[in-house]
Amino acid sequence: MPRSFLVKTHSGHRVPNYGQLERQRETNGACSACGGLVVPLVLPDKAAPSTPGDPPRPWDFTSVVAHVSLPLPTFLCNEEARGASGPDPLEVSLADPRAGRAPGAPLRDSLQHLGLPPLLALPTRWPPVLGADGRAPHTPGGFRTPAALARHQQLQCHLQAQRRFACKSCDKEYGSLGALKMHIRTHTLPCLCAVCGKAFSRPWLLQGHIRTHTGEKPYTCPHCSRAFADRSNLRAHLQTHSDTKKYQCKRCAKTFSRVALLARHEESSCCAP
DNA sequence: CTGGGGATGGGGCCC
DNA sequence: AGGGCCCCATCCCCA
């Protein structure tokens, strides 16, 4: 059996000393070539006695040190992991220090080559050094505990809700950069009328204005054949043909075709109780 | 005072 | 990301 990837065994004490391994990692646990981690790995020990049918016992495993090309996240933030090409948890290479470099074959292939079941066990305590927020370094979206992930997602949700895009020319704020850019055009007025020089914020506003010069009225009322240059004005006109006006006075129940007419009525002329 | 046309502004959505 | 479009709103003016 080719076991050239084995660089350390714990024949004296079957249970690996993770504290020692972690101290080793802190001192020289990073791969000098790619910065990946060198972590303890538990593989079945074919030499250990085992009873068929019995669950494997700790002493049935041999702990080795393996080269992991990327640290494995424990809990992923969906938002941050989306779009990121994170490593397949099984795409882990085993290092052979005697060869001087990682063999390149994924751990899954190595285990299969050895006739071993895929990834019997990764040690439960091989965490990389974690930040104060529980996030594993070099692992976008990776967290050590569900609680750390939940805290992170709650914070991200809060920050997203708080994110506003403010206009520097006035005090308006918007929820997206696109909305802010659209608003900024109302200050810059980049669309100029070639006839009178009047400036507009958007091209279609300029087009509507140009119709005042050309007299074009492309929107025709189907009831009276009256034509309009603006669709909104046609819509307002259509209200005049309607029996039921859209806006109604709450005091006298009189209806109006426009909200402005209703407001004017309520402010000045409505005397009903 | 009322009704309505004309012109324009601006946010949001879709492609 | 940007343009086109929709919809709503507002102001001005006139009959």
Nucleotide nearest to A269 (CA to C1'): B1
Nucleotides of C under 7 A from a protein CB: 1-12
How many angstroms is C1' of B10 away from CA of A201? 10
Question: Is the confidence at residue A202, as pLDDT, over 80?
Answer: yes
More reliable by pLDDT, A109 or A225 = A225
Nucleotide nearest to A221 (CA to C1'): B5
Percent of chain A scoring above 70 in pLDDT: 39
Find the residue closest to B7 using CA and C1' atoms: A209
- Give the pLDDT band of residue A34 (cuts 50, 70, 90): very low
Q: What is residue A257's predicted lDDT score, i.e. its pLDDT? A: 76
The answer to whether strand C lies under 7 Å from the CB of residue A231 is yes
Q: Return d(Cα A261, Cα A244) in angstroms, integer.
A: 15
- The CA-atom distances, in angstroms, between A145 and each of A134, A136, A157, A253 are 7, 10, 19, 62
How many angstroms is C1' of B4 away from CA of A247? 15
Q: What is residue A103's predicted lDDT score, i.e. its pLDDT? A: 32
More reliable by pLDDT, A98 or A147 = A147
Q: What is residue A121's predicted lDDT score, i.e. its pLDDT? A: 27
- Cβ(A123)–Cβ(A12) under 8 Å? no
**pLDDT, tens digit, 9 for 90 and up, residues A143-201:** 566 677 677 666 655 555 555 677 877 777 777 777 888 888 888 888 888 888 888 88
Nucleotides of B under 7 A from a protein CB: 1-12
Secondary structure of A82-118 in HEC code, one letter for each residue: CCCCCCCCCCCECCECCCCECCCCEHHHHHHHCCCCC
Q: What is residue A226's predicted lDDT score, i.e. its pLDDT? A: 86
